[in-house]
Amino acid sequence: MLVFIEFVGIDALVRVLQQTSPSLIFAMVALELVGFVFYSTAWYLLIRATGHRIRYITCQGITFASIFAGMTMPSGIFLEAARCILGSKESGMKLGESAATVVLHRILYVAGFLLCTALALSLLVFQGNVRSSTVYDLAAIPIASIIGLLTLLAVSLSPRRLRPLLNRIVRYVEPLIKLVQKEVQMEDKTDKFLLEYHLGFRKMLSSEIYMAASFIASLGDWACSVAILWIAVLALGVNVSLWVVIVTMAIGKMIQMTPIAVPGMLGIYEAAVTATLSMFSVPVAVAASAALLLRIVTTWLDLPVTGIAAYHYGFKLLTRMPLSPVLKN
């Protein structure tokens, strides 16, 4: 991130903030928070599809706390792990069922924005606003995402293939799971976890209404993300096609979901957004400024809200931990 700011220039950062009215920044932050609500609603509906119940506000709190974890931890996997564990604890789901809801939520979200991206690229090509070479340059990331999505879906429908990997993961996350659920016994849990996962996944797939509603909610979250970037570019005085913004945001999201040990993909995400916008003839300075404004809104201004939720759940866990002998004395 610091390298990116150095590339753009501090003066450019100041100009971006001065050029953007407080009302627009407020609108972008509001859209980001509305997107979070859509995101957690999509997950909430999948939990309901398993037959379990969780308070809607509790689901929101877990989601906000997990987003904070994703922003501050070295990998986005912490976001999903937090949702799995806290979702299981608060709803009474088995850990395998909770993991299934998180994975299917991710599948629906990625499928939604890939569908929108394919539509946007097709319209840009049809309208003659993009060269075929540009499409080829951009195709690698969506294709890789589609392959990953299909692989995840195939494994979810037949999860026993993951037994060796899960044995290692269970050993790795055992201390965290026992911190939340002290009574859980982890020995020989892999087969049971896979069975719970498989049954939960199948149960959700059989609930067409909840699946459709969750998919629509995921599209709502995606629409908010696209609107934020569009406002950021327009705030800098550049008119750009909505289809270009959709493709740019999709590339950024796919890069952001790459499991690289960089908190929030700081710097990498901004570079991807800048590069994609510039491929559609947006001046590099404007593209970089828009990417930086997007990061300010979607990370730095979100941290206080998501941090409160993370503190709430972190405090609850700490108060459940037994005191050490030194503190007891």
Exposure of 100 by Cβ count < 10 A (0-12 exposed, 13-18 middle, 19+ buried)?
buried
What span, in angstroms and rounded, lies between the C-alpha atoms of 121 and 107?
21
CB 60 within 8 A of CB 37: yes
- List of residues 6+ apart from 315 with CB closer than 8 A: none
Between CA 46 and CA 281 the distance in angstroms is: 41
Determine the pLDDT at residue 7. Answer: 43
The pLDDT confidence band at residue 250, using thresholds 50, 70 and 90, is confident
In which domain, by residue range, is 181 found? 2-328
- C-alpha distance across the termini of the chain, in Å: 46
Name the domain count of the chain: 1
pLDDT of residue 62: 86
> Bigger pLDDT: 304 or 139?
304
165-198 confidence digits (pLDDT tens): 555 665 655 565 555 555 555 445 677 777 888 8
CB 102 within 8 A of CB 78: no
- 140 pLDDT band, cuts 50/70/90, is low
Up-side HSE of residue 243: CA atoms within 13 Å toward CB?
A: 15
Please tell me the distance from the alpha carbon of residue 104 to that of residue 243, in angstroms, as a whole number.
Answer: 27
* Higher-scoring residue by pLDDT: 178, 32: 32
pTM over the 0.75 mark:
yes
Q: Which of 1, 40, 63 is nearest to 308 (CA)?
A: 63
